Amino acid sequence: MTPRKTVTGAALASLLSVAALAHSGATGVVKDRMGAMKEMKEAVKSVAPMMSGTAAYDADAVRRAADTFRRHSGAALTGDFPAGSTEAPSEALPAIWQDWDRFAELAETLGVMAEGLSRAADNGLHGAGGMMDSGTMMGSGSMMGSGMMMGTAGGAMRMSAEQIGQMPADGAFAMTTQVCAACHDRFRKDDA
Ligand code: HEC
């Protein structure tokens, strides 16, 4: 178990835990964005077993998941959050509109990650062979370290899609789900 795997696991667990909630009462824009978020959750679930090596790796499936993230990122995501739209059963926090720049930046970053993940799809998994150069980008292995992911996520989030596209697909996927988690931590009510 590398630190990277642990981080990915935690991020996934927190993403998937919301599945338990029933949100059948949602209407309008709240319903729309919940639908978009659920699609992204399904996309995460469709590739997570591949990324941890428990299912056969499928680059096309990774690209499809990346497309789903990209489609729901940026302006598509922020456009589903008109000011003050917190009506029940929404879990959106008012902090979204108090810190809109940060929220919008995370939405943009998701798009960059998704583009990077799509480019990285053919790279396969870390350690699968053929991607041994990936360490040279940030110094051997440092990109994969949990400190980078958790401690200075801002640094990782300023990476370009081209840079992310040089990574093994599981690394790019981990970074993508970090963006989901970062936004939820700050802007979504705790389910607990
Ligand atoms: C820019 C911020 C942001 C990003 C990035 C983001 N989310 Fe969300 N997500 C939210 C907010 C805010 C809510 C709560 C929406 C509501 O309840 O009105 C939410 C809700 C959800 C939900 C619950 C939907 C429901 O039915 O209540 C899931 C699942 C989800 N997100 C998955 C994801 C996944 C997977 C990703 C990454 C691929 C992601 N999100 C990226 C902000 C974000």
Tell me the pLDDT tens digit for each residue of 57-86.
Answer: 999 999 999 999 999 999 999 999 999 999
Q: Name the CA radius of gyration of the chain, rounded.
A: 16
Atom 25 of ligand 1, nearest CA residue = 34
CA of 83 to the centre of ligand 1 (A): 16
End-to-end CA distance of the chain: 27
Atom 43 of ligand 1, nearest CA residue = 183
- Which amino acid is located at 54 in the chain? T
- pLDDT of residue 31 exceeding 80, the answer is yes
pLDDT at position 5, please? 55
Q: Which residues of 98-107 are buried (b: 16+ CB within 10 A; e: fewer)?
A: eeeeebbebb
CA of 131 to the centre of ligand 1 (A): 32
- pLDDT of residue 91 exceeding 70, the answer is yes
- Which amino acid is located at 33 in the chain? R
- Ligand 1 lined by 40 (C-beta under 6 Å): yes
- Which amino acid is located at 115 in the chain? E
Average pLDDT over residues 170-181: 97
pLDDT at position 35, please? 96
Tens of pLDDT, residues 95-117: 999 999 999 999 999 999 999 99
- Give every CB contact of residue 56 below 8 A, 6+ residues apart in sequence: 50
Q: With the C-alpha atoms ordered 109, 34, 171, 50, is the resulting torsion angle positive or negative?
A: negative
pLDDT at position 25, please? 82
CA of 160 to the centre of ligand 1 (A): 23
pLDDT at position 12, please? 78
Cα angle at 21 between 16 and 25, to 5 degrees? Answer: 135
- Ligand 1 lined by 30 (C-beta under 6 Å): yes
